Structure 1
Amino acid sequence: MFIVSLTYRNGPEAADAHLAGHIEWLKDGYAQGLFLASGRKVPRTGGVILAEGDRATLDAFLAADPFAVHGVADYDVTEVAFSMAAEGLERLKD
């Protein structure tokens, strides 16, 4: 399991120019079974994605994000092995 933290390089206004493409890219990540959840940081300084699969596949997919292609965001990927989860979220456990 991976937690991907995106941080905007030049604020949300720069990201807005590529937001439609980023949303389509997110939908593709869900369709491929790579993403489990995603959303904006509060305050809006970037976003967070919960992903599964192998690291090489994730890295390649992240590189294709319009935010990455256009230099809008930096990405920090943390691998997590969850040992506990709330009822209904057992799938998250390693």
Structure 2
Amino acid sequence: MFVLELTYTVPLDRVDALLPAHVEWLNRHYADGTFLASGRKVPRDGGIILAVGEDRAAIEALVRTDPFAVEGLAVYEVTEFLATVVAPALEPYRQQLPA
């Protein structure tokens, strides 16, 4: 599982101008099952996305396709973790520690 933290690098008016394209990008990846949750950070200097994927390289390539990243409005930090304890709703995503 991955925590994708994006941090804006420009004023919010530029972020807001591209927000519809970013939301469309998010919706595509909710539809394909990659994204589980997302939202703005407080204070509003970026956002967080909880994502699933088998391969860190693929997730890193995916975040480079976000319109915010493409246009240089945000940078991403990708943190991979093993979700070994989850709420019942996330049970399909529970992971095992390596042997």
| Same structural fold, with TM-score higher than 0.5 when normalized by the shorter chain | yes
1:88 to partner: Cα distance: 2.8
Give the CA deviation at 1:61: 1.6
Residue equivalent to 2:86: 85
d(CA) in 1 for partners of 2:45 and 2:57?
Answer: 26
Larger Rg: 2
Deviating more after overlay: 52-61 vs 29-38: 52-61
For residues 74 and 37 of structure 2, the distance between their equivalents in structure 1, rounded to whole angstroms, comes to 18
Corresponding residue for 1:9? 9
**What residue in structure 1 maps to residue 31 of structure 2?**
31
Report the secondary structure of 2:44's partner residue: coil
Q: What is the Cα deviation at residue 43 of structure 1?
A: 1.1
Structure 1 residues not aligned, in runs of 5+: none
**Count of residue pairs brought into register by the alignment:** 94
| Aligned-pair CA distance for 1:32 | 1.5
Matched, 1:20 2:24: no
Alpha-carbon distance between aligned partners in 2 of 1:21 and 1:55, rounded to the nearest angstrom = 24
- Tell me the C-alpha RMSD between the 2 structures: 1.3
Shift of 1:81: 0.4
User: Displacement, 1:33?
Assistant: 1.2
Determine if contact 1:36/1:49 at 8 Å carries over to the other structure: yes
SS at the partner of 1:49?
A: strand
Specify whether residues 88 and 16 from structure 1 end up closer, same or farther in structure 2 by C-alpha distance, changes over 3 A only.
same
